Amino acid sequence: MTSTKTRFQHSYGQLGNFFSRVTQPTPVQAPQWIAFNQALADSLSLPEALQESETALLLYAGNLEDERWRDSDAANVIEPRALAYAGHQFGHFVPQLGDGRALLLTEVVPEDSPHKTFDIQLKGAGPTAFSRGGDGRSPLGPVLREYLVSEAMHHLGVPTTRALAAVASGEYVYRDSPLPGAILTRVASSHIRVGTFQFAAAHGGVEHVKKLADYTIKRHFPELLEGPSGGPRYLALLQQVMQRQAHLIAEWTRVGFVHGVMNTDNTSICGETIDYGPCAFLDTFINDKVFSSIDRNGRYRFSNQPRIAQWNLARLAETLLPLIDDKAPNSDERTVALLTDIIRDFPHVYAQKRDHSLARKFGIASIGDLDEHGKTDLLALMDEFYQATEADELDHTLAFSSLTQQADRAEGPFSELAKTTKNAAHWPLWRKRWLTLLNQAHAKQPFSVMAQANPRLIPRNHRVQQIIHQAEESGDLTEFFRCHRAWSNPYNYADLGDNKDLLLPPEPNEQVTRTFCGT
Ligand code: AMP
Ligand code: MG
């Protein structure tokens, strides 16, 4: 292919048919563009042939048999594969899952970041060997949701997969009723999941787990290749994955994100948010908030996400056991102890990362710069703020953005928001203590620290739902594009003009109380 020096490869395919199967997408009748993410395409230095065009539309629709695509000079870089994985779903092990409606098209190594590899994947491109009776398709709604929310998460600064393209299939998919179908093109740093390791352990053996672990290290943690090999290297791998998960969940906590289905097959090894099914953002702050209709026991509630991440990491650790065990007498016990120590460390590592993320929400750029006394004060203030926000039933995003707007004001009421709350008397005192702490800590430019940690614009659930409804009913995407643009600049503290309405929490009748996988 001409033009860029961007490379295409199939390194995952080279791991062999145990891990993935070459699978052709099923063509669709009448593909039409919904959206193409030009900024992402540019950041990947995608060549002309993969940019928004009639020919690329055929690719992103999965119509690879169409001769206009077959004749394209990009056709030879595509080798679609369905990836195998297993996973614990709501705590129950399912040994065989895999890409039931997704296909990895190719891996791209962009011209200007030659040390990074990205997967380009179609989602909704027809059945595969792993479809388990499913149709391999996706309705329009979930495609629009993933496009909007994953891109918003990226601009919020949260590690995530991204959306390159959305294409309407011109066909219906049948769920409870016929729904318009669509296909999403997703970009991820990889699609290796905790469930991929579980698949290797369950169906292969030590050699398969080792192959996958070595591949993962090379792709995501190449610095480990410079350290010791063998058992210590795989322990270091677990540690690195643990660090990434801790960072990810701390970031979800910062922005009030509830993933909704943190199964081990939806837990990416490289620490990106993956699979936007029944996900939602907190509006009213409720620490134990559950949205997903299928999460009946609240396993994946907002407050439980760190514990679940730790549980998922323990499942990963189990698969690594044979790579660390040196078969010496009693080494089994020693190995288990080594792995357990790492998993046990998670709450501590998470708390550190969370405190760092949350301190920024309160104007402290680095919690490490506080003395012990200041740190204790800050933690107490943060705790009280969250408790009062919950007791007063405040909107999470509004509470923090109005706090941000208070940061550079010496005098004045706490905020319009706090004045109207049930426990209004509490707030002025809290605010006084907070401003004293900022002074004592010599906090530099607290407003600008807070304005980069407290988003004003998030993809509010009711907006996403309204956008999907509108698109399904009339095909009107005006709101989709308006919101997509506004949510690409979530820390915008300037006058929002015509987008002011996007600040508002839902009216009682607009509130989304239940979310659905919508597969
Ligand atoms: P998810 O809930 O999207 O994480 O999917 C869980 C599993 O179900 C994965 O193995 C998916 O590939 C599979 N799956 C979800 N929807 C479909 C579908 N429409 N057809 C086939 N497989 C599906
Ligand atoms: Mg999934």
Q: pLDDT digit string (tens) for 443-498?
A: 889 999 999 999 999 999 999 999 999 999 999 999 999 999 999 999 999 999 99
DSSP 8-state code for residue 268: B
304-338 confidence digits (pLDDT tens):
999 999 999 999 999 999 999 877 777 888 999 99
Ligand 2 geometric centre to CA of 24 (Å): 20
Q: Cβ < 6 Å from ligand 1: which residues?
A: 97-101, 131, 134-137, 266, 275, 277, 517, 519
Measure CA 279 to chain center. 10
Concerning whether 265 is annotated as a catalytic residue, the answer is: yes
Ligand 1 geometric centre to CA of 126 (Å): 11
Residue 438 has which token pair?
Answer: 């900022």
Q: What count of other Cβ atoms lies within 10 Å of the Cβ of residue 239?
A: 16
Question: pLDDT tier at 413 (50, 70, 90 boundaries)?
Answer: very low
Q: What is the DSSP string of 76-104?
A: GG---EEEP--EEETTEEES----SSEEE
**Catalytic residue, candidates 99, 119, 265, 275:** 265
Q: What residue owns the CA closest to ligand 1's atom 14?
A: 100
Distance, CA of 67 to CA of 50 (rounded, Å): 16
The minimum-distance atom of ligand 1 relative to the CA of 173 is: 19
pLDDT at 118: 98
Ligand nearest to the CA of 181: 1
Q: Has residue 2 got a pLDDT over 50?
A: no
Q: Where are the domains of the chain?
A: 6-191, 195-353, 364-451
Q: Has residue 3 got a pLDDT over 70?
A: no
Q: Rounded mean pLDDT of the chain? A: 94
Q: Once rounded to an integer, what is the mean pLDDT over residues 347-358?
A: 97
Q: Has residue 29 got a pLDDT over 90?
A: yes
361-403 confidence digits (pLDDT tens):
999 999 998 999 999 999 999 999 999 999 989 999 999 999 9
Ligand 2 geometric centre to CA of 195 (Å): 10
pLDDT at 409: 64
pLDDT at 274: 98
272-304 confidence digits (pLDDT tens):
999 999 999 999 999 999 999 999 999 999 999
> Are the C-beta atoms of 257 and 233 separated by less than 8 Å?
no
Ligand 1 geometric centre to CA of 294 (Å): 15
Tokens 């508002």 -> residue: 504
Distance, CA of 439 to CA of 431 (rounded, Å): 12
> Are the C-beta atoms of 316 and 275 separated by less than 8 Å?
no
Among 120, 140, 139, residue whose Cα is nearest residue 185: 120
Question: pLDDT tier at 411 (50, 70, 90 boundaries)?
Answer: very low
**Over the range 166-180, which residues count as b (16 or more CB within 10 Å of their CB) and which as e?**
bbbbeeebeeeeebb
Question: pLDDT tier at 65 (50, 70, 90 boundaries)?
Answer: very high
Question: pLDDT tier at 412 (50, 70, 90 boundaries)?
Answer: very low
Indicate the top mutation candidate among 93, 131, 172, 293 to test ligand 1's pocket, ranked by most ligand atoms within 8 A of CB: 131
Ligand 2 geometric centre to CA of 335 (Å): 31
Indicate the top mutation candidate among 101, 131, 161, 261 to test ligand 1's pocket, ranked by most ligand atoms within 8 A of CB: 101
Ligand nearest to the CA of 142: 1
Global pTM reads 0.97
